[in-house]
Amino acid sequence: MFAVTATQTDPDNPLAGLTLGERPEPKVPDGWTTVSVRAAALNHHDLWTLKGVGIRQDRLPIVLGCDAAGVDEDGNEVVVHAVVGIGADETLDPKRSLLSEVYDGTFAERVAVPRRNLVPKPAALSFEEAACLPTAWLTAYRMLFDKAGLEPGSTVLVQGAGGGVATALIALGRAGGFRVWATSRSESKRERARELGADQVFESGARLPERVDAVMETVGQATWDHSLKSLRPGGRIVVSGATSGAVPPADLNRVFFLQLSVVGSTMGTRDQLQRLGVFLEQTGVRPVVDRTMPLAEARDGFAAMHEGDVFGKIVFTA
């Protein structure tokens, strides 16, 4: 079968290890099944893998991709939950992994997954839209509606409008009744964030007209100081990523004096993925797809993400 594989890692030239071509059919352990992939979404996780982050070298070569929507062996249209783990909240399983870390991922014509990881595809969503849900949109859903501890009408700041999680946060926040503010270095991305539902948009690092109830942080080091200074006393930062660096100055004096909370959030549960699908059907919100391209052209998609030339999700069709 055709697949997109990481065959080596290079932190400076990640695309050097990207290999497109034939791979063996997936092996199917007991309790697992196969899904014929119709669409799969690209995430920063895939680029980090090619950089050598979060992957053991003895796992290479490995098929990339966390997200997929497709058809199972019984002909059902499904979405693949990307977290392989056990327990009511598999994200807390110490041995959890994402597809493409220990087991081959979704950038292939077929993928093997645990049966429990299959969720019915929302009928109102296309395969391309549904493929965006398992990582970026599920992460945003959990950040907003689980970890943030907010009521509708609260003000939320989304740092770094343009990425998959950030665009999901804006759209979901608007639909959930929050007042959503967003930042970006790019004027065009700020305007698109406004069109997506952001009430106000600002240049990265700009002084805000008032302090916010919560900050949704996926950028990390480049925006951390601004995130802390943007919070009202007692406010909360929800962190699900650190694409610009993971070790900013903590500014602990501000944290304890203003009684700020910093909450980590990783992915979401299978049940939350299913509820996310219901939420989208009920509200009419749809994932923002930057571009769709055949899996055979995946290198172009990776290059666009590497260069930051993305607003929303890049989706590959098998």
**Which DSSP category does 73 fall into?**
T
User: Is position 295 within any domain?
Assistant: yes
Domain housing 311: 2-132+287-317
176 and 238 share a domain? yes
Computed from CA positions of residues 58, 62, 67, 68, in that sequence, does the dihedral angle turn out positive or negative? negative
pLDDT computed for residue 315 by the predictor = 98
- Residue 146 counted as domain residue: yes
Query: Residue 156: what are its φ and ψ, rounded to 5°?
Result: -120, 130
The structure tokens 């090619």 sit at 50
Can you tell me the distance from the alpha carbon of 230 to that of 204, in angstroms, rounded to the nearest whole number? 12
Judge if 111 and 163 occupy the same domain: no
State the total domains in the chain: 2
Whether the ω angle into residue 152 lies within 30 degrees of 0, i.e. cis, is: no
Do 11 and 127 belong together in one domain?
A: yes
Domain match, 58 and 126 both: yes
pLDDT digit string (tens) for 237-269?
Answer: 999 988 888 899 999 999 999 999 999 999 999
Which of 20-24, 161-165, 268-272 has the least mean pLDDT? 161-165
Instruction: Say yes or no to pLDDT of 181 above 90.
Output: yes
CATH number at residue 202: 3.40.50.720
Element (H, E) at 20: strand 18-22
Q: What is the pTM of this model?
A: 0.96
Assess whether 120 and 144 both reside in one domain: no
The answer on 128 and 146 residing in a single domain is no
pLDDT at 162 over 90: no
Q: Number of H helices and number of E strands within the chain?
A: 9, 18
Q: Is residue 280 domain-resident?
A: no
In order of 54, 58, 128, 176, 257, the CA distances from 105 in angstroms are 14, 16, 17, 32, 45
Domain presence at residue 222: yes
In a domain, 77, yes or no: yes
Same domain, 17 and 58: yes
pLDDT of residue 243: 85
Q: Are 170 and 218 in contact (CB under 8 A)?
A: no
Answer yes or no: are the C-beta atoms of 103 and 28 closer than 8 Å: no
Round the average pLDDT of the chain to a whole number and report it.
Answer: 96
Question: What is the percent of the chain where pLDDT is above 70?
Answer: 100
- Look at residue 184 in the predicted model and tell me its pLDDT: 96
Residues 145 and 128 in one domain: no
Q: What is residue 314's predicted lDDT score, i.e. its pLDDT?
A: 97
Q: Same domain, yes or no, for 195 and 294?
A: no
Percent of the chain topping pLDDT 90: 95
In a domain, 271, yes or no: no
My answer on whether 49 and 104 are in the same domain is yes
Judge whether 279 lies within some domain.
no
- Output the CA–CA distances (angstroms, integers) from residue 134 to 43, 189, 270, in the order listed: 10, 24, 9
**How confident is the model over 272-277, as a mean pLDDT?**
98
Residue 67 sits in a domain whose CATH number is 3.90.180.10
pLDDT in tens, 83-118: 999 998 999 999 999 999 999 999 999 999 999 999
Pairing state of beta strands 2-6 and 155-158? unpaired
Return the structure tokens found at 8.
């080596």
Same structural domain, 125 and 11: yes
Kindly state whether residue 281 falls inside one of the protein's structural domains.
no
Are residues 162 and 87 part of one domain?
no
